[in-house]
Structure 1
Amino acid sequence: MPGETELSALISHMRPMLDPEPYVFCTFEARAPGDLAQYEPIGLFSETEGTTAILPVERARELGLADAEWYRRITLTVHSSLEAVGLTAAVSAALAEKAIPANVVAAYFHDHVFVPAERAQDALEVLRDLAGGE
């Protein structure tokens, strides 16, 4: 099922949804992605320096890592194509205007924006405004 590629449609149809769960970005030098499955990561990425895992805070706590900065996930609930151009830039620019850091993860159906937990409500408002205030 192909996703939307038209930037104006992506922006006007996105309905940013704030996940109530806080997350922690962790890195593991000596663990393979499969070794982290028991911690229920919502994201894994292998890099030269190690494996990055996005873990729920409670699971990160089991590893002694919950003191790291907490992030909240905002899902842009529009089915964006992996071929779409400009959505990440538009979202990042809108958040940057309000000095809100954004870590964007594109998955098959949706884009997910991770923002510092203490700025999550501000980020949600910015993204709703970008989408047209709905």
Structure 2
Amino acid sequence: MTGETRLATLLRTLQPELHPGCYVFCTLDASRSLPAEIQPLASLREREGLSVVLPQGQADQLGLSYEYLARWITLQVHSSLAAVGLTATFSTALATAGISCNVIAGYHHDHLFVAEHEAQRALDVLLELSEQPR
């Protein structure tokens, strides 16, 4: 099934879901790797090392440092990777509310990481955005 590309439909059907728990962004240099039993939520190899998104408890268990405590929101709408304007629209709405947002696009959904203390407010902004007439 292909994802939705029409911006009005995407926005109307965002269906943001706030996941339980806190998540952190960590980095591992070339001399360190994750134990096999740890499966990061996301990872990206950068020139400086491997960036990973982990539940806070796993990062603490491994003694990894982090600076940003985040909550994870998934937009349940199946957005196409070729959709134009979705990220710009929700990130602008969050920025206008003074909420930082880190986005990871999955094949089916967009995943937003917002500061822990702003999670409910971010969810409210996304729900309001979804309810606006198009």
Identity, % of aligned pairs? 47
In structure 1, stretches of 5+ residues that fail to align are none
Q: State the match for 1:92 in structure 2.
A: 91
Match of 1:22 in 2: 22
Q: 4+ residue runs of structure 1 moved beyond 6 angstroms? A: none
Distance 1:25 1:129, change over 3 A: same
1:52 maps to amino acid: S
Task: Provide the TM-score with structure 1 as the length reference.
Answer: 0.91
Shift of 1:74: 0.6
Query: Using the alignment, how far apart are the partners of 1:105 and 1:37 within structure 2?
Result: 23
Structure 2 residues without counterparts, runs of 5 or longer: none
Distance 2:30 2:37 in 1: 16
Q: Please give the per-residue CA displacement for 1:27-74, whole angstroms capped at 9, x wherever unaligned.
A: 1112677x4552221001111111100000110011223663210011
Q: CA RMSD in A?
A: 1.7
Give the aligned partner of residue 119 of structure 1: 118
Q: Contact 1:80 / 1:111 at 8 angstroms: preserved in 2? A: yes
How many pairs are equivalent?
132
1:101-133 deviations in whole A, cap 9, x for unaligned?
Answer: 000110000001100001000000000000007
- One-letter code of the match for 1:115? V
Q: Match for 1:125: what amino acid?
A: D
Higher helix share: 1
Q: Does structure 1 retain, via aligned residues, the 8 Å contact 2:25–2:66?
A: no
2:26–2:65: 8 Å Cα contact kept in structure 1? no
